[in-house]
C-alpha cells in the first residue's frame, strides 16, 4: 500500500507540475480571461479571450479588444493567436470590426520568441497579408523585427510585475491603405503621420499575467497601464491538499 501511495503521489506531483508550467506563458490565452487598461488622459482599453476562430486553416484563439482613445475614434479589434509548445506567441491576423478591415498573416508573426532575455532579437520575414477568405490583401509582403529592450520591475495600478519590454528592432512598417488610413500589426487604426519607433519597448509582458502596459504608436508618451485582470478561474490544488488525500 505504501508503494502504491508513493506512485500515486508521484503521478499527482507530475500533473501539478505540468499544470503550473502550462500556466506560465507570457500571454495566457485561456477563454474568459479579461484585462482592463487605462491612462491619466482618459483613454482606456478592455481585452478578453472570447473563443476560437479558424484562419487560413489554423485554429486560433480570439482576443477581443475595445479601445477608447481620445485621439482616434473608438475601435473594436480582434486578434488571432496561437501558442507553440515552446511558449512562442504567434499573431495570425487582425480584424478591425469598426473599419471592416480583415488581415490574415502568413507566416504568422512571432510576437514573443520564448524564452525572453534582455537584448534578444528576432524577425519574422516575408509576411504576406491575406483576407480571411484567402484572397490577397491590400499590402505588400513585409518583415517584422522585434527585440527585448527592457527587463525589470514595472509598477502599474494592478501591482508590480517582473516584465520584459518588447519593441521594434530597426524599421517596422505601418500598414497604409490607398485611402490614407494607417494601421498597426494588430489592426488598430492610427492617427495621421504615425511612425514606428525603433529601439524602445512598446509592450511589457509578465509571465502568467500577459500584457502589463503598452504604448500606442499614436501616443508614444502615453502608456496604457494594467488596472485589473481576471484570469480564468482554475481550482487551486496545493501540495498540502495532495498529501492530505493519503492520510
Task: Quote the cell numbers at residue 204.
Answer: 511589457
Tens-place pLDDT, residues 10-43:
433 333 333 333 445 899 999 999 999 998 888 8
Q: What value does the mean pLDDT take over residues 178-202?
A: 76
Length of the chain, in residues: 247
In contact, 107 and 127? CB cutoff 8 Å: yes
Please tell me the total count of domains within the chain.
1
Which residues, at least 6 apart from 135, have a Cβ–Cβ distance to it below 8 Å?
A: none
In a domain, 247, yes or no: no
The C-alpha angle with vertex 159 and arms to 216 and 18, in degrees rounded to 5, equals 95
Cα dist. 231→36, 49, 122, 151 in Å? Answer: 12, 10, 29, 23
In this structure, is the dihedral angle defined by the CA atoms of residues 219, 222, 227 and 228, taken in order, positive or negative? positive
In a domain, 48, yes or no: yes
In a domain, 203, yes or no: yes
In a domain, 245, yes or no: no
Range of the domain at 78: 25-236
pTM: 0.82
Rounded CA separation 26/44 (Å): 22
In a domain, 43, yes or no: yes
In contact, 98 and 245? CB cutoff 8 Å: no
Secondary structure class of 60 (helix, strand, coil)? strand
Q: Which residue has the higher pLDDT, 84 or 43?
A: 84
Tens-place pLDDT, residues 111-159:
999 999 999 999 999 999 999 999 998 888 999 999 999 999 999 999 9
Which residues, at least 6 apart from 121, have a Cβ–Cβ distance to it below 8 Å?
A: 145, 146, 147, 148, 169
In contact, 92 and 58? CB cutoff 8 Å: yes
Q: Which residue has the cell 491576423?
A: 93
Task: Quote the cell numbers at residue 54.
Answer: 479558424
Phi, psi torsion values for 2, nearest 5 degrees: -65, -40
The whole-chain average pLDDT of the chain stands at 82
In a domain, 215, yes or no: yes
In a domain, 243, yes or no: no
Is-cis flag, bond preceding 107, omega within 30?
yes
Element (H, E) at 19: helix 2-23
| Confidence at 182, pLDDT banded by 50, 70, 90 | confident
Q: Which residue has the cell 503621420?
A: 193
Secondary structure class of 107 (helix, strand, coil)? strand
| Confidence at 183, pLDDT banded by 50, 70, 90 | confident
Secondary structure class of 237 (helix, strand, coil)? coil
Q: Which residue has the higher pLDDT, 232 or 46?
A: 46
Amino acid at each position: 500500500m505504501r508503494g502504491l501511495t508513493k506512485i500515486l503521489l508521484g503521478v499527482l506531483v507530475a500533473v501539478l507540475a505540468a499544470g503550473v508550467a502550462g500556466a506560465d506563458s507570457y500571454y495566457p490565452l485561456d477563454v474568459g480571461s479579461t484585462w482592463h487598461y487605462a491612462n491619466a488622459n482618459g483613454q482606456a482599453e478592455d481585452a478578453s479571450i472570447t473563443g476560437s476562430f479558424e484562419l487560413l486553416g489554423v485554429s486560433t484563439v480570439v482576443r477581443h479588444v475595445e479601445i477608447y482613445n481620445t485621439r482616434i475614434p473608438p475601435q473594436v479589434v480582434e486578434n488571432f493567436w496561437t501558442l507553440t509548445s515552446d511558449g512562442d506567441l504567434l499573431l495570425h491576423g487582425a480584424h478591425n470590426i469598426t473599419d471592416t478591415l480583415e488581415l490574415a498573416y502568413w507566416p504568422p508573426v512571432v510576437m514573443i520568441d520564448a524564452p525572453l532575455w534582455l537584448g534578444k532579437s528576432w524577425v519574422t520575414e516575408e509576411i504576406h497579408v491575406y483576407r480571411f477568405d484567402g484572397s490577397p490583401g491590400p499590402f505588400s509582403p513585409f518583415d517584422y523585427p522585434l527585440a527585448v529592450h527592457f527587463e525589470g520591475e514595472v509598477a502599474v495600478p494592478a501591482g508590480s510585475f517582473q516584465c520584459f519590454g518588447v519593441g521594434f528592432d530597426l524599421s517596422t512598417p505601418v500598414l497604409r491603405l490607398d485611402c490614407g488610413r494607417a494601421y498597426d500589426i494588430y489592426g488598430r487604426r492610427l492617427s495621421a503621420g504615425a511612425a514606428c519607433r525603433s529601439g524602445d519597448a512598446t509592450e511589457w509582458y509578465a509571465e502568467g499575467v500577459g500584457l502589463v502596459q503598452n504604448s500606442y504608436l499614436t501616443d508614444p508618451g502615453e502608456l496604457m497601464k494594467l488596472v485589473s485582470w481576471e484570469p480564468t478561474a482554475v481550482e487551486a490544488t496545493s501540495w498540502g491538499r495532495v498529501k492530505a488525500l493519503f492520510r
